[in-house]
Amino acid sequence: MSRWRTIAIGAACLLPALVRGGEAPHGVAWDANCVDCHMQHNAPGAAITAQAGNANLCKSCHLETVFPFGPADQAVPGVSGSSHHWSASTTNSGHGAAPPLDKEMLLRTPGAALQCSTCHDQHRARPEYGGTQHVSAVMPMSGSSSLAIQSVSAGAAAMAYLIDVVTAGGPGTTTFRLSNDNGASWLGYLAGAWVAYNGSNGRLTSSTGVDLNDGNRVNVRFTSGRYVVGDRWKFYVTYPFLRADNRWGQLCVDCHRSRNQASLPDSTDGTQEFSHPVGMNMVVTPTIHAPLDVNGGEQGVSGDANPTNDLRLYSDGTSDQLVTCLTCHRVHGADSNSRTEDPR
């Protein structure tokens, strides 16, 4: 295949992503543009990216953000690292790894090696695929008056919010308009519903909380004594941009199939393999107890008060007590010691 045909195919594959943009903070809703990552001509990286190497492109931001990842963070099992390897071979018999079966994931394993985009779709942050909800800090865009996020419920949509004061006054008298696309369009409020802003239908502020336009799952408080027209703030709700559903470890066992309880006792070499049960319903019995903290107490505040080492049980929609890979393992930001409190 010629070089030019290869580039043409790559560009064609990228077009839907360029048209769709990306969810915050990877899209126009948060000031990120296609050209921040892509070059239309003479691009040094595949998929017309501005840097050679998928991980290099991701790290150009993630070395500086609240989710930084550097080369030293890649795991060397039993030695160092706090993140799943993002550049190793897809095949590692010693750790039960094989190339993914998911077609979209397998498509993104250049040279039979992993990259960030093998597991992450940088354009879509889907809450239904699992992963920790991330809520950014409120960023003042103009003015010095205060806005605070009061609550964000589980399952809130991945969405950016830009709030703009349109009439002056204090909480309860001033009004604001709302945008989810960084000001390209605006919403106002009428008869209990969010509608197109018409210049006079701003929503009333409140110091006790105002629900925004995601089914009342995001609530903000206006905490200053007085606001002026043009006071603005922005923030976003997002998820870890997973390429496949991982609510109960499906993405993990796609590659680590030999570690999945469902694949045992049979194996390709005819020998018995052993693994902690994955997908087991954790029904508490006289021989199976609810997870304890490292000090022997209950997890959470009544245990060692360290949330980062808690063992999490997951739901498949029927049972909410499933043991999965993620019960004991973290893909990024894993604890180095069960008694320390580590990021994320």
Residue ranges making up the domain that contains 82: 3-129
215 domain-assigned: yes
12 & 122 share domain: yes
177 & 94 share domain: no
216 & 229 share domain: yes
Cα separation, 260 vs 277, whole angstroms:
7
Quote the number of domains for the chain. 2
Cα separation, 153 vs 215, whole angstroms:
10
pLDDT band at 284 (very low <50, low <70, confident <90, very high): low
User: CB under 8 Å to 302, separation ≥6 — which residues?
Assistant: none
Provide the percentage of residues in the chain whose pLDDT is more than 70. 88
117 & 83 share domain: yes
206 & 233 share domain: yes
* Tens-digit pLDDT profile for residues 246-275: 988 899 999 998 877 654 455 555 555 566
**How far, rounded to the nearest angstrom, does the alpha carbon of residue 80 sit from its chain's CA centroid?**
24
Q: 6-10, 133-137, 180-184, 318-322: which range is least confident on average?
A: 6-10
pLDDT band at 125 (very low <50, low <70, confident <90, very high): very high
267 domain-assigned: no
Task: Look at residues 114, 129, 144 and tell me which one is the last residue of a structural domain.
Answer: 129
279 domain-assigned: no
88 domain-assigned: yes
* C-beta separation of 207 from 172 below 8 A: yes
pLDDT band at 277 (very low <50, low <70, confident <90, very high): confident
- Among candidates 3, 4, 39, which has minimal Cα distance to 18? 39
41 & 110 share domain: yes
51 & 69 share domain: yes
147 domain-assigned: yes
pLDDT: which is higher, 191 or 333: 191
116 & 86 share domain: yes
148 & 123 share domain: no
Task: Look at residues 87, 108, 129 and tell me which one is the last residue of a structural domain.
Answer: 129
Q: 116-120, 165-169, 278-282: which range is least confident on average?
A: 278-282
36 domain-assigned: yes
* 0.85 surpassed by pTM: no
122 & 8 share domain: yes
9 & 110 share domain: yes
308 domain-assigned: no
* Tens-digit pLDDT profile for residues 193-235: 999 999 999 999 999 999 999 999 999 999 998 999 999 999 9
248 domain-assigned: no
Task: Give strand ranges (E) for the chain.
Answer: 134-135, 139-142, 147-152, 159-167, 175-179, 187-190, 193-196, 203-204, 210-211, 218-222, 232-238, 280-281, 322-323
Task: Look at residues 85, 110, 129 and tell me which one is the last residue of a structural domain.
Answer: 129
188 & 84 share domain: no
- Cα dihedral 318, 253, 271, 269, rounded to 10, equals 140
